[in-house]
Amino acid sequence: MTRSGNIIDSIKKGTPNHYQPLPVVLSEGDGCWVKDVAGKSYLDMLSCYSAVNLGYKHPKLTKAITTQLDTGLTACSNAVYNDKQIFNTKLAEFCGYDKALVMNTGAEAVETFIKLARKWRSLNRVRVGGIGDTAEDDAEIIVCANNFHGRTTTIISFSSELLYREGFGPQTPGFRIIPYGDIKALEQAINFKTAAFLVEPIQGEGGINIPPQGYLSEAKQICAQKGVLFALDEIQTGFGRTGKMFAWEHEDAKPDVLILGKSLGSYIPVSAVLADKEKMDAVFTPGTHGSTFADNPLACAIGIAVLEVFSAEGSKLLANVSKNGRWFTKQLKGIKNPHIKEVRGRGLFVGVELLPEAGGARRFCEALVQLKPSGIICKETHKNVIRFAPPLIIAREELEWAVDRIRQVLEN
C-alpha cells in the first residue's frame, strides 16, 4: 500500500467517515499548486471550496500569520487589542456597511444572521400588507431549495437535501423553502411572519446554479417593499470569485445583511455578518451573542492582510477572473462528450453537469487527481456536477494545461 493509502486508512480508524475525500494526502502548497506526501504535484481547482482565493503561501498572508504568532498573544472575544479594532473597521468600510460582527466559520455566521433577523423582527414587529403585529417567537425566514448554508442543527433544518437532515431531528421550525430563482414564489411566500429572505447569489454546493438575470435585484426590491430583510450568503462567492468583488454587484443588489467567510480568512477560519448600525446595535447588546475565538488576534491579522491585498490588487485580480473565467467556460463547453448536459458558471466558479448515465461526477474527479505526472484537484457536487473553482491568481498557461487534461479525461 502507498504512503497515502496508509495515512487514509489510519485516519478512518480515528475519525468518523463523515467526508468522502479524494484519494490523496496533501503536504504543502504554493500558488495554485499543492503536493502530496510522495511529492506529486496537483493543480488545485477547488481552492478549499473558494477559501484560498489568493493562492497558497501568499507572502503577505503568511507574513501576517507568522508576525502575529511571534507576539505570543492569544485572546478570547471579550478582550480588546489593536488589530481587532483595525480589522472590524476595515472590513465594514471595505464592504460598505456600518458594522461587522466577526465569527469563525460560515455556519456560525449564518446562525448569527438568523438571530439578527429574528430579533430585529421581534423588536420592530414588522407589518406586512397591513396585517399587523404578530407573536414574538413565530418569525419565519424564507430560503431556497438546494441551498447550502452549513451543517449545524438549525441550518440543516431548512436544507432540502435529505442526506443532511435525515435522522437528525427534531428539525428547527421557522423556515420556508421556495424554488431558487423564482421571483413569483418569493412574492407569494412573504407573509406577516416573514423576517428575512436568505439566498446565495450562486448556489455552489447546489451545483453552480445561477438564477435568472435580475433575480437578485427584484428580490431586493420586493423585500424592501414588504419590510423584510434581504440577506445574501456570499461565503463562497465573495472576494472576487465571480469576477466582481461581491456577486451582488452584478445586479447592484446590495443586501441588508451580508454574510462572508472562507476567503475572508484564507488559511484561518474567519467569517462575518455585516449590516447597518441600527440593526447591529439594536440586536446585539452585551450578553446576547459571542464566540470564544471570534476575531482572535490571528484571525484579525490575516483578515487585515486579505483586505489589504484586495484593496491594492483587487482591480487586477477581478480582471483576471473575468477574462480567464470566460475563456475557461468557453473551453469546457467545447469538450465533446455526449454525457455533458450543461456547462455553467460565472467568473472562476464553474460547473460541468453530467447526465445520469455518465455514472456520476466522482469518477471523473478521481481520474483527474490520478493523472500522471501531475494531477488536478476538483470535487463533485450533487452527484452529477464537477465543480471548478481555482485560485483567482491562476495564470492562463495553468488553465490551458488544465483544459488539456480535463478534455483528455472527459473525452476518453
CATH number at residue 297: 3.40.640.10
148, 158, 230, 364: which one is catalytic? Answer: 148
Q: Tell me if 189 is assigned to some domain.
A: yes
Residue 75's nearest CA partner among 300, 286, 273, 264 is 300
- pLDDT score of 3 more than 80: no
148 tagged catalytic? yes
The answer to whether position 229 is within a domain reads: yes
Catalytic choice (44, 233, 256, 295): 233
pLDDT tier, 134 (very low <50, low <70, confident <90, very high otherwise): low
Q: Annotated catalytic, 233?
A: yes
**Considering the domain boundaries, does residue 327 fall inside one?**
no
Confidence band (pLDDT; 50, 70, 90) for 20?
confident
Q: Which band of pLDDT confidence, cut at 50, 70 and 90, is reported for residue 136?
A: low
364 catalytic residue (yes or no) = no
Cis check for the bond before 373: say yes or no (omega within 30 of 0). yes
Which letter, b or e, does each residue of 270-290 get, where b requires 16 or more Cβ atoms within 10 Å of its Cβ? bbbbbbeeebbeebbeeeebe
- The whole-angstrom separation of Cα 171 and Cα 175 is 10
- Which pTM does this prediction carry? 0.94
Q: Which of 262, 284, 310, 349 is catalytic?
A: 262
- Residue 127 pLDDT greater than 50, yes or no: no
- Residue 381's DSSP bridge partners are 385
124 versus 394: the higher-pLDDT residue is 394
Decide: 122 and 166 in contact? Cβ < 8 Å.
Answer: no
Report pLDDT for 19.
78
Q: Please check whether residue 377 is in contact with residue 46, taking contact to mean a CB–CB distance below 8 angstroms.
A: yes
Let me know if residue 400 belongs to a domain. no
CA dist 329 and 348 (Å) reads: 8
Residue 135 pLDDT class (50, 70, 90 cuts): low
Domain count, the chain: 1
What is the average pLDDT value for the chain, to the nearest integer? Answer: 94
Whether 34 is in a domain gets the answer no
13 occurs within a structural domain: no
Report how far residue 81's alpha carbon sits from residue 102's, in angstroms, rounded to the nearest whole number.
14
Domain membership of residue 142 (yes or no) is yes
**Can you give the pLDDT at residue 17?**
78
What is the CA 308 to chain-centroid distance, rounded? 20
Check pLDDT > 90 for residue 215: yes
| pLDDT tens per residue, range 91-108 | 999 999 999 999 999 999
Strands lying side by side in the sheet with 140-144: 99-103, 271-275, 257-260, 229-233, 194-199, 140-144, 175-178
Identify the burial level of 249 via C-beta atoms within 10 angstroms of its C-beta, where 0-12 means exposed, 13-18 middle and 19 or more buried. middle
Q: What angle do CA 179, 50, 289 make, to 5 degrees?
A: 75
Query: In terms of pLDDT, which residue wins out, 391 or 134?
Result: 391
Domain span holding position 143: 60-311
Q: Does position 66 have pLDDT exceeding 70, yes or no?
A: yes
In-domain check, residue 119:
yes
Average pLDDT of the segment spanning 54-64: 98
Q: What pLDDT, on the 0 to 100 scale, is given for residue 15?
A: 82
